[in-house]
């Protein structure tokens, strides 16, 4: 059956057996709901949409079309991983749209954080809607809505991020197979569906992506510095056992330069700020105690490998007073 709400007596999915039972049940539910019709899914590469994609591929195969919009603000390797896992390995119908220039042109010169978020959100819907209109006979829209999304929208904490926003001519019936699951259960199901570990257990990543880690007006050179320094930080945290221990970690490149010395010459370049925090619910957060020698190694790598960067800082500010992100 299609659940509207999580049954009060539903057992928490904590084992592969329970995850497999859930998958089998939902495969039947989706088949029943969709019949021989077509389904569309915006696949970001995040945990929830990836699990929905894998589940629907199992249930309805090529009746599903996934659209992956690269807004140019994704982390290093993310679009490539989406293509590798879903198109190459799972043989999904995947439409990959590289809309980088479109987003970055719209964002050029925009320095207000909320305006940046709005532009990214609106442009995303526009690109997705354009792709949806190109496809014939789609009647269903799949979404990675999860149980906390429903609870929070009922509490008025956040607008339900899904469904809302699509133009009226795109009037789809929703398919939400993980709607009654908590996040840890979605991860169990993702594991059972064979998704890669770094996709299932990845740290939270905001919808506006690296855009909020390039404070002020986004420029391509700073965006590249954020992407490359973030990749180094992630690589070092993975190698040194911190990836599974620290809740969220990333880099930020603010919009001012500082004087430094490189190869005996004055270098007036960007700086990178490292943020690494632990939290239960993201309402408050503490700063991770990163071993000093590892920190020195990361600083060395970033200043030598990331072009246009001559300085690295570590943010020791808990939340409050700082938020986790910078914008």
Which residues of this chain interact with ligand XMP, rule CB under 6 A? 117, 204, 206-208, 248, 282, 319, 323-325
Report the residue number, 78 or 269, with the smaller CB distance to ligand XMP: 78
Compute the distance between CA of residue 169 and CA of residue 185 in angstroms, rounded to an integer: 34
Nearer to ligand XMP, 243 or 299 (CB): 243
User: Residue 167: exposed, middle, or buried by beta-carbon count in 10 A (0-12, 13-18, 19+)?
Assistant: exposed
Minimum CB distance to ligand XMP smaller for 286 or for 323: 323
For the bound state, the minimum distance from the C-beta of residue 88 to ligand XMP, rounded and expressed in Å, comes to: 27
Smallest gap from Cβ 38 to ligand XMP, in A, equals 28
Both tokens of 149, joined, read 């999304």
Please say which residue, 165 or 207, places its beta carbon nearer to ligand XMP. 207
Structure-block tokens of residue 40? 């569309």
Helix, strand or coil, per DSSP, at residue 291: coil
Distance of closest approach, residue 203 Cβ to ligand XMP, in angstroms: 8
**CA distance to 1, 37, 75, 80, per residue, from 173 (Å):** 16, 11, 31, 30
Query: Positive or negative CA dihedral for 213, 218, 220, 225?
Result: negative
∠ Cα 208 158 107 (to 5°): 25
- The residue assigned the tokens 């629907």 is 56
Residue ranges with strand state E in the chain: 38-42, 64-70, 93-98, 138-142, 173-175, 248-252, 257-262, 265-278, 286-287, 309-314
Q: How many CB atoms lie within 10 A of CB 183?
A: 14
- Strand 138-142 and strand 38-42: the pairing is parallel
Q: How far is CA 3 from CA 28, 31, 310, in A?
A: 13, 15, 54
What are the counts of helices (DSSP H) followed by strands (DSSP E) for the chain? 10, 10
Minimum CB separation of residue 308 from ligand XMP in Å reads 25
User: Looking at beta carbons only, is 259 or 284 nearer to ligand XMP?
Assistant: 284
Is 245 strand, coil or helix?
coil
Q: Closest CB to ligand XMP among 179 and 275?
A: 275
In the bound state with ligand XMP, the residue whose beta carbon lies nearer, of 263 and 280, is 280
Q: What is the three-class DSSP state of 84?
A: helix
Of the two residues 308 and 318, which places its CB atom closer to ligand XMP in the complex?
318
What's the min distance (Å) between Cβ of 118 and ligand XMP?
10
Least distance (Å) between residue 220 CB and ligand XMP? 21
Distance of closest approach, residue 7 Cβ to ligand XMP, in angstroms: 28
CB of 95 to ligand XMP, least distance (A): 23
């Amino acid at each position: 059956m299609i659940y509207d709400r999580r049954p009060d007596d539903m057992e928490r999915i904590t084992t592969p057996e329970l995850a497999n039972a859930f998958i089998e049940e939902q495969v039947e539910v989706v088949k029943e709901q969709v019949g021989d019709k077509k389904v569309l899914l915006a696949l970001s590469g995040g945990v929830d949409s990836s699990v929905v994609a894998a589940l629907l591929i199992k249930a309805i195969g090529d009746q599903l079309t996934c659209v992956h919009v690269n807004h140019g603000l994704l982390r290093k390797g993310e679009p490539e991983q989406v293509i590798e896992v879903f198109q190459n390995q799972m043989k999904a119908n995947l439409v990959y749209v590289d809309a980088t220039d479109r987003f970055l042109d719209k964002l050029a010169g925009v320095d207000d954080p909320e305006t940046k978020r709005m532009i990214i959100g609106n442009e995303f819907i526009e690109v997705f809607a354009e792709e949806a209109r190109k496809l014939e006979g789609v009647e269903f829209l799949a979404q990675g809505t999860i149980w906390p999304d429903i609870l929070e929208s009922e509490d008025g904490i956040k607008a339900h991020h899904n469904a809302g926003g699509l133009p009226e001519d795109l009037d789809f019936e929703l398919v939400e197979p993980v709607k009654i699951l908590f996040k840890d259960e979605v991860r169990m199901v993702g594991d059972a569906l064979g998704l890669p570990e770094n996709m299932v257990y990845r740290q939270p990543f905001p919808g506006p992506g690296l855009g909020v880690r390039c404070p002020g007006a986004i420029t391509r050179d700073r965006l590249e510095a954020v992407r490359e320094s973030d990749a180094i930080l992630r690589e070092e945290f993975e190698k040194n056992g911190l990836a599974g221990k620290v809740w969220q970690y990333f880099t930020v490149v603010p919009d001012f330069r500082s004087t430094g010395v490189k190869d005996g010459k004055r270098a007036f370049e960007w700086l990178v700020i490292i943020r690494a925090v632990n939290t239960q619910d993201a309402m408050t957060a503490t700063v991770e105690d990163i071993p000093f020698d590892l920190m020195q190694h990361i600083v060395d790598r970033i200043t030598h490998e990331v072009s246009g960067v001559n300085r690295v800082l570590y943010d020791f500010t808990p939340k409050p007073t700082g938020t986790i992100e910078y914008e």
